[in-house]
Structure 1
Amino acid sequence: VKPQDVTVRPGDSVALRCQASGEPVPTVEWLRAGQPVRASRRLQTLPDGSLWLERVEAGDAGPYECVAHNLLGSATARAFLVVRGGTFRGHHHPQQHQPHPRECGSAFDPEAEALRFQLDTALQAEENEVGCPEGFELDAQGEFCVDRDECSDRPRPCSHSCHNAPGRFSCSCPAGFALARDGRTCRDVDECAWEADLCQEDQHCVNLLGSYHCLPDCRPGFRVAADGASCEDVDECLEQTDDCHYNQICENIPGGHHCSCPRGFRVQGPSLPCLDINECLQLPEPCAYQCHNLQGGFRCLCPPGQALLRDGKTCTPLERSGPNVTTVSHRDLLVAWLRARAPKPGGSYHAWVSLQPGPRALSVGRAWCPPGFIRQNGVCTDLDECRVRNLCQHACQNTEGSYQCLCPTGYRLLPSGKNCQDINECEEDGIECGPGQMCFNTRGSYQ
């Protein structure tokens, strides 16, 4: 029930009716000139939300706002109380004192209605000698009070839409918004806070400005896809959100990831780096003569005067048949043995034929060097990979039969063995700064 405009005389008592219903049950509050109406002996808010004014005075005239609000929003209604001069005293019933009932016909006459407002406000201005009431102003001739268009004021009184009416104005909000308690500002309505189930069982509600959206509930390790209707796997390895150690291999799996070790290494335990496997300690022994362990592998060595065969494990004696010719002699002519076969990747292969007088008229030979070595003058010589090509992101250190990439201070070597990654000392080393200070990671260091 919205309050109606009422005209009374000083000393009358009047009730401005205002009732609101909703779920949750709304709270009704009365405002005058934008300020809450304070209860007194003459002004009281009735249990049904109406405002009771006892022994009305001339100063009680003006607009009154009834504001009903709950968790979902608010609604505002406005009524104008006109106090005319006179000596009448007694109880007043609003339905018996509606101003100027129209008895001449049922049609609405805009000019007559405007004249009624001018007469009412002019009488009030003359009897109270206080000028025009709130929401009105004197016309250009200074004879009548006319409505003032508050919506044309600057700054605008409403945050969104403003609606002017005789002696007052009201604000409204677009869909998805509700008026705040000031009756002028629009605030977003959180539809997701409603008890009603707006989304399906396998979805959750996300509030938006002026609206809401239902997104699917994704399991851990998944996220909402770009279409907003399905879930997609999160590749922790690609996004570097995994918890694998620096020398471990990250393998993405649906809904998670797996940390493993490269060949030649073994897992120590959760959150621990991979540990090199010493193949030289395994049984049976991998080499015929001597085994040299490397990070992630091993290399077999031969005694002086012998060379490593293509299996990378067995040694064979060498013969010197000339100053610069080294041969491996055989009793039979194995020409097919000289054909190039698929050597071990990265290895060096060399075959030759040596002619010399004597019962062994023809000697054939072939030798193969392991990876990281090259055959020079019949001897397997270490190859300096650091000079051959650019293998490392930063520094390269040659080792016997291999090479090693080095990183500057503050960086660690990635599992690729070639690239370096900055170390976040603030997180990994537990750096403790002084009082009122924070640790910031920088490239290769921190501050």
Structure 2
Amino acid sequence: MCVCTVHWHKDAFMQGCFRLFIMYRICMCLYVAINCIASQEVEEPISYTCTDGYTFDPVLQICKDVNECALMPDACKGGMKCINHFGGYLCLPQNAKIYVSNGDEDSPSPTPVPAPRPPQNRRVILNQGRTIQCAMGFTLDEQNYCRDIDECATEMHTCSSDQVCHNTRGSYTCQCPPGYQKHGDQCVDRDECLQAHYCMHRCINTEGSYHCECNTGHKLASNNHSCIDVNECEGGNPCQHQCFNVIGSFICQCDQGYELASDSRSCQDIDECSFSNYMCQYQCVNNPGGYSCSCPEGYQLQGSRLCQDINECDRGHTCRDDERCQNYHGGFRCYPRNSCQEPYVRTAENRCVCPSVTSACQGLPTTIVYKYMSILSEHTVPADIFQIQATNIYHNTHNSFQIKVGNEDGEFFLRRSSNLSAMLVVTKPLSGPREQVVDLEMITHNSVINYRSSSLLRLTIIVGPYTF
């Protein structure tokens, strides 16, 4: 720029002297101005080149930092936070805190970088036709200004098909699309899983990107990288009976009387009867989810497992009127009310007497008494089961006892307790059902009057079919 300065002096004495000087200065300024205008016509507008990460501010005539975080929304991947920096940018975690300092706490922020001066060998030449020639990457517009050429829009670039062209002032750059990185002249997939990512469980790399997956029993949260537990028990119950949710899985439990099957979900019945033979006294019946005890005919269940004999003679039976009902363990039997046979006559219930005046009674027992009893099968031995007792007491008499009939296998023993009684003892286990008739004879002697008589007790022993 040409600047002309004229100084006016107030001294009137000097006004005349300086008039010629003023005219001289005016002419010189006009001459210089004409030369400046001619110089501007032939020179090309000066272009400035800033380093990467900066752009030229034509107003402030400085290189200002480029905010890549604002220009490129996808500058950082994997949820990283973009932090603008002088001449570039940083990708840091979301919770990172940035402190910019040169070592002093109160140090001022860096000042903008001044624009470099154009090189001396700038590409501005003046040809003989006084036209302006722009530098490479620029083109002259209608106002004779050098404007930047958008090589990306005009396809005046050498970027390959897998690269993205980005126009710059006076040039252009070839960049890979998001999720890719340069490998030589080619763009290859960037494996985000090998770099920083926010997948809580597993990172799955894909072409140009990645996604997160969760372990079994979890699902992706709304942020697409955290994993939250899945409550499998909600909605459709995967268990046959009871479902309990745990972190990352669930467990199934069965109701009482059931156990988990091999699939750990369904329930199968427990056969309690297979555990022990003592679950029930007679028979164990397995039921879904439990068991029950049953008793044989002639018995009823007492409590939950024991069997008790039913006394049919008290509850109702099929014996005739001339018969008597005799209950035993597991059933009943009908016996004649009058068991006396000639020459015996019935003198009382179950008692028969043979009159001594008749010749038919000679050598026969004077009386026969009928008794009935029931014992368990396989009864523990030895065991006292029946006592025979004399009813008539005479002075100077002696009583003896013996098993007359019914002990062919030696299963009984008659133990004399006193002169008036004896005890029948079982010496071998008896298996039922069985009916055993044993004749117990008592012989009475009187040496003073030379008297001898005998009486018979006919004992019917009914052995039940079971041990209970």
TM-score between both structures, scaled by the size of structure 2: 0.25
TM-score between both structures, scaled by the size of structure 1: 0.26
Which protein shows a greater Rg?
2
